[in-house]
């Protein structure tokens, strides 16, 4: 029997039919929806006279357009947002699927609440009409983002027609330096190999630097596989994976748990498995990294200087660099440390989990956000928020000058609701920084939560280690 990659194992075990030319009909184990697109899919299905095939396998949460202001209700700053909320409630009730509504203890950003509830499990396929569904590949699952029409098909049939991507392995070997995080790892990778470096591939992250990461950090790594251009990202199952999912609400119990753990032992690439493309990264050479432009690929280590457009010989890169520098109001030769900020944001499906907040709290303890800086923290789920408050982390954030919010996507993206100010420079723990992502003409620099916190204190972009030198 030939040696197989983790991706091939997941693909083969879910293939209902081989349609030829590299296309297969895959069985879908779990479907997750949110109020921005989920209601559209459910209503579209109802209009066609079709029913959800397996309502018990479908979940929905309120996350994208709900308010995150303290004491929120059904109000939303997004125009038409209230209608989305009401439509989602009606559509999920009609379809008989679980809804994690405002006020529900399970509510949160889909890619945060799904793992913490045990909805995503090793070996499963999971889809959601959200591009960052690849986050959940950190559990040795095959998870990817789909469109609303595909969501309708999955809801009605529990299968999807998918063209099989190639296999890529990205190996991070070596030891990470102090203060370097999974966010720095993925930004470093994308800046080195571009946002199209993994187009047409399913990426498995491996290596010593990956194996030591917590599950939350692995999720951060997989979260931005889509920014690398990948179909999905994934990491092999190990003891950390099993320990994380054990005992969660939707995790198997008793004898079923024992059988599941036994089955999960094979969810790794065989030693002789062949990949279509291999990338090896020396993890010891990665430093705290921040984006300077309007793409995660336009990132450099803190302390480095912003490149000149002329340093790129390819015409498209040259033009993209010029356009990004104009929008971001940065000039070649400028150090990231020299850029003053107007605001700082900690949140999103990339970096809003309890471990993220714990690390940030250590930096904020006994310090204050610089004068004039608006700093906001939005926990990734109601459970994360409550757990953080039980540990007193919220008070540390508030004492430092951060706004402490309810859970949700919040200002990770601008959809006509709340945003940062016109041409404000924001350092953010989010995953995307294209023009207007966090507000009209808002200039977003992507970074780790630690770098966001340190920059908020300093008033300009800096690494947490830089604070110790002040």
- Say yes or no to pLDDT of 364 above 70: yes
Report the share of the chain in percent with pLDDT over 70: 99
**Side-chain half-sphere of 79: how many Cα atoms within 13 Å?**
1
pTM: 0.97
- Options 3.40.50.300, 3.50.50.60, 3.40.1060.10, 3.30.530.20; CATH of 166-237+269-285: 3.40.1060.10
- Say yes or no to pLDDT of 470 above 50: no
299-301/289-291 β-pairing: antiparallel
The reported pLDDT for the residue numbered 436 is: 86
pLDDT-derived band at 401 (thresholds 50, 70, 90) equals very high
Mean pLDDT of 185-207: 98
Mean pLDDT of 412-428: 86
Q: What Cα–Cα distance (Å) separates residue 251 from each residue in 56, 193, 312, 359, 412?
A: 14, 37, 50, 28, 30
Homologous superfamily of 289-467 in CATH? Aconitase, domain 3 (3.30.499.10)
* 23 or 470: which leads in pLDDT: 23
The reported pLDDT for the residue numbered 267 is: 98
**Whether the Cβ atoms of residue 279 and residue 210 lie closer than 8 Å to each other:** no
The dihedral over CA atoms of 244, 247, 253, 254, expressed in degrees to the nearest 10, equals: 100
Mean pLDDT of 380-387: 98
**Side-chain half-sphere of 143: how many Cα atoms within 13 Å?**
36
- The least confident of 47-51, 316-320, 418-422 is 418-422
**Whether the Cβ atoms of residue 165 and residue 147 lie closer than 8 Å to each other:** no
**Whether the Cβ atoms of residue 344 and residue 376 lie closer than 8 Å to each other:** yes
SS3 assignment for the chain: CCCCCHHHHHHHHHEEEEEECCEEEEECCEEEEECCCHHHHHHHHHHCCCCCCCHHHEEEECCCCCCCCCCCCCCCCCCCHHHHHHHHHHHHHHHCCEEECCCCCCCECHHHHHHHHCCCCCCCEEEECCHHHHHHHHHCCEEEECCHHHHHHHHHHCEEEEECCEEEEEEEECCCCCCCCHHHHHHHHHHHHCCCCCCCEEEEEECHHHHCCCHHHHHHHHHCCHHHCCCEEECCCCHHHHHHHCCCCCCCCHHHHHHHHHHHCCCCCCCCCCCCEEEEEEHHHCCCEEECCCCCCCEEECCCECCCHHHCCCHHHHHHHHHHHHHHCCCCCCEHHHCECCEEEECCCCCCCHHHHHHHHHHHCCCCCCCCCEEEECCCEHHHHHHHHHCCHHHHHHHHCEEECCCCCHHHCCCCCCCCCCCCEEEECCCCCCCCCCCCCCEEEECCHHHHHHHHHHCECCCHHHHCCC
- Say yes or no to pLDDT of 317 above 60: yes
Is the four-CA dihedral 425, 427, 430, 432 of positive or negative sign? positive
Report the share of the chain in percent with pLDDT over 90: 87
The reported pLDDT for the residue numbered 72 is: 83
Residues contacting residue 36 through CB under 8 Å, at least 6 positions apart:
64, 65, 84, 415
pLDDT-derived band at 83 (thresholds 50, 70, 90) equals confident
The dihedral over CA atoms of 428, 434, 440, 442, expressed in degrees to the nearest 10, equals: 40
- The least confident of 55-59, 85-89, 310-314, 318-322 is 310-314
- Say yes or no to pLDDT of 358 above 50: yes
Measured distance CA(31)–CA(295) in Å, rounded: 29
pLDDT-derived band at 415 (thresholds 50, 70, 90) equals low
- Say yes or no to pLDDT of 194 above 90: yes
The reported pLDDT for the residue numbered 76 is: 75
Homologous superfamily of 27-162 in CATH? Aconitase, domain 3 (3.30.499.10)
Total residue length of the chain: 470
Same fold yes or no, 166-237+269-285 and 289-467: no
Sketch the domain layout of the chain as residue ranges: 27-162, 166-237+269-285, 289-467
């Amino acid at each position: 029997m030939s040696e197989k990659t983790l991706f091939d194992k997941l693909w083969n075990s879910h293939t209902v039919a081989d349609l030829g030319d590299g296309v297969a009909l895959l069985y879908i184990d779990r479907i997750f929806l949110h109020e921005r697109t989920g209601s559209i899919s459910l209503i579209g299905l109802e209009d066609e006279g079709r029913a959800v095939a397996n309502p018990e396998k479908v979940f929905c949460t309120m996350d994208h357009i709900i308010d995150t202001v303290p004491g929120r209700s059904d109000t939303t700053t997004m125009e038409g947002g209230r209608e989305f909320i009401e439509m989602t409630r009606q559509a999920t009730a009609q379809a008989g699927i679980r809804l994690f509504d405002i006020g529900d203890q399970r509510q949160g950003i889909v890619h945060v609440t799904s793992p913490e509830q045990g909805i995503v499990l090793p070996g499963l396929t999971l889809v959601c009409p959200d591009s960052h569904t690849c986050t959940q590949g950190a559990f040795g699952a095959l998870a990817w983002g789909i469109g609303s029409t595909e969501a309708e098909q999955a809801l009605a049939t529990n299968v999807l027609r998918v063209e099989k991507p190639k296999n890529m392995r990205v190996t991070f070997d070596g030891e990470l330096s102090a203060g370097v995080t999974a966010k720095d790892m993925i930004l470093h990778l994308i800046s080195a190999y571009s946002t199209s470096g993994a187009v047409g591939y399913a990426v498995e992250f491996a290596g010593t630097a990956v194996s030591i990461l917590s599950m939350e950090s692995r999720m951060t790594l997989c979260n931005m596989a889509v920014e690398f251009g990948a179909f999905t990202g994934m990491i092999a199952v190990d003891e950390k994976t099993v320990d994380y999912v054990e005992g969660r609400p939707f995790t198997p119990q008793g004898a079923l748990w024992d059988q599941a753990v036994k089955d999960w032992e094979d969810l790794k690439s065989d030693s002789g498995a062949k990949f279509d493309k291999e990338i090896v990264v020396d993890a010891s050479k990665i430093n705290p990294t921040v984006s300077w432009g309007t793409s995660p690929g336009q990132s450099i280590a803190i302390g480095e200087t912003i490149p000149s457009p002329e340093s790129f010989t390819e015409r498209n890169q040259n033009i993209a660099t010029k356009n990004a520098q104009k929008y971001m109001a940065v000039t070649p030769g400028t150090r990231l440390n020299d850029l003053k900020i107007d605001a700082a944001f900690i949140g999103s499906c990339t970096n809003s989990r309890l471990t993220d907040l714990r690390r940030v709290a250590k930096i904020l303890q006994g310090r204050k956000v610089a004068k004039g800086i608006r700093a906001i923290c939005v926990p990734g789920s109601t459970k994360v928020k409550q757990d953080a408050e039980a540990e007193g982390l919220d008070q540390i954030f508030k004492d430092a000058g951060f706004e402490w919010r309810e859970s949700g996507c919040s200002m990770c993206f601008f959809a006509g609701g709340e945003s940062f100010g016109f041409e404000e420079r924001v350092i953010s723990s989010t995953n995307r920084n294209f023009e207007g992502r966090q507000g009209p003409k808002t200039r977003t620099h992507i970074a780790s939560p630690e770098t966001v916190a340190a920059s908020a204190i300093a008033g300009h972009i800096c690494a947490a280690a830089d604070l110790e030198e002040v």
